Amino acid sequence: MASLSLTQIRTGNSASGFSLNCRGKVQARPCRVGFRVSASENGNNKASSEPDLSVTVNGLKMANPFVIGSGPPGTNYTVMKKAFDEGWGAVIAKTVSLDAAKVINVTPRYARLRAGANGSALGQIIGWENIELISDRPLETMLKEFKQLKEEYPDRILIASIMEEYNKVAWEELIDRVEQTGVDAIEVNFSCPHGMPERKMGAAVGQDCALLEEVCGWINSKATVPVWAKMTPNITDISQPARVALQSGCKGVAAINTIMSVMGINLNTLRPEPCVEGYSTPGGYSAKAVHPIALGKVMSIAKMMKSEFDMDKYSLSGIGGVETGGDAAEFILLGANTVQYFTTHTDLVQRQQEAIRQRKAIKKGLQSDKDWTGDGFVKESESMGLKQRSLS
């Protein structure tokens, strides 16, 4: 298993967001997204006092181990390009499948948990539940954007996240089409807790080791790039499916995806949240509150991998409640090679509003007023129906 050696992190101000002092203590330094990443086209340009955070994972050279995880931050070309420009080590796009028409995302599809009394407008948001599905954008559109990103950033790591029905031919077609864009690796979503389980997709595969072994066999017999299996925490022993995925040809595992949950019941309406026209369903729980659970799951996988696999050939990507450099360092210290970060929903709304303001400022070359009202961008970026008032 490739690894980041913390002995490389020296005393001094670091652009990484965490540094090692003379006593060997990891120090997190806050910034806009909790920790700062730094990438340079030429490592020799860095000051000698700065650490070398570059890692090589499954043959993929990353400027640092900090990865934008599959989800809203990887929903389209614009946000993925921004991640590369900001210096993230890799970007994993939002999960795609062959037929996006089968994906029906509802609104609203988020609910929040605040510290203190749930629903209090004063408490800090510590948890989010979502019932969002995979990308509902046409596969052709996503593939075009993957190709464009690789043409513009040939040295950056772009990872496609894929999910498909229980159909060998469909999996093979999806892998072939995705690889033609030039992506560097594939992450397979075996873990979405509400990812159309009736079609044997998402966690329905990750929770069934026999089914997982079969599907991983199909995938790895077709794929020519490294494959990561994204694991579900909604299982008693997460090391079991992780072991099966690695034995079936996957080069790495990522953990965890969201935890099955019901955020709460609105005592005014007597309806569960999020509520869509009076109805709801259990969804995926994420953010700060899940961090200790994620650490425990990653530790379990790391122990299994260390005892049963050649650690130089396989990798582990930690996910769950990462908000600071210290949070990321904890995953690395437990054995993770990379750490995935998911932009907070508040930050997504702010980015969306800024993009709308920029579009409104453009006065030339517009085909209609729809091009500058922001409506087109909202639809394109899958704004998830999350309105600013839901954050108040």
**What residue ranges do the domains of the chain occupy?**
64-343
CATH of domain 64-343: 3.20.20.70
Q: How confident is the model at residue 342 (pLDDT cuts 50, 70, 90)?
A: confident
pLDDT surpassing 80 at residue 329: yes
Strands 157-162 and 90-92: parallel
d(CA 210, CA 196): 19
Q: Which of 192, 209, 216, 275 is catalytic?
A: 192
What is the full DSSP assignment across 284-323?
Answer: EEESGGGHHHHHHHHHHHHHHHHHHS-TTT-EEEEES---
Across-strand partners of 185? 159
Helix H or strand E segment including 348: helix 345-361
pLDDT surpassing 80 at residue 388: no
Claim: this prediction has a pTM higher than 0.85: no
Number of other CB atoms surrounding residue 294 within 10 Å: 24
pLDDT tens by residue, 192-210: 987 778 888 999 999 999 9
Q: Report the interhelical angle of 325-334 vs 291-308 (nearest 10°).
A: 30
Q: How confident is the model at residue 357 (pLDDT cuts 50, 70, 90)?
A: low
- Under DSSP, the state recorded for 278 is T
pLDDT tens by residue, 259-302: 999 999 988 889 999 999 888 889 999 999 999 999 999 999 99
Asked if residue 329 lies in contact with residue 18, where contact means CB atoms within 8 angstroms, the answer is yes
- Under DSSP, the state recorded for 388 is G
Strands 283-286 and 259-261: antiparallel
CB pairs under 8 A, 24+ apart, for 42-46?
none
Geometric angle at alpha carbon 339, from 226 and 33, rounded to 5°: 135
pLDDT tens by residue, 120-131: 567 888 999 998
Strand order of the sheet with strand 110-114?
110-114, 125-130, 283-286, 259-261
Number of other CB atoms surrounding residue 306 within 10 Å: 12
- Under DSSP, the state recorded for 28 is E
pLDDT tens by residue, 12-37: 333 333 333 333 344 444 333 344 44
More confident residue, 90 or 360: 90
Q: How confident is the model at residue 139 (pLDDT cuts 50, 70, 90)?
A: very high
Q: Known catalytic residue: 216?
A: no
Torsion angle, alpha carbons of 134, 139, 143, 146, to 10? -20
pLDDT surpassing 80 at residue 8: no
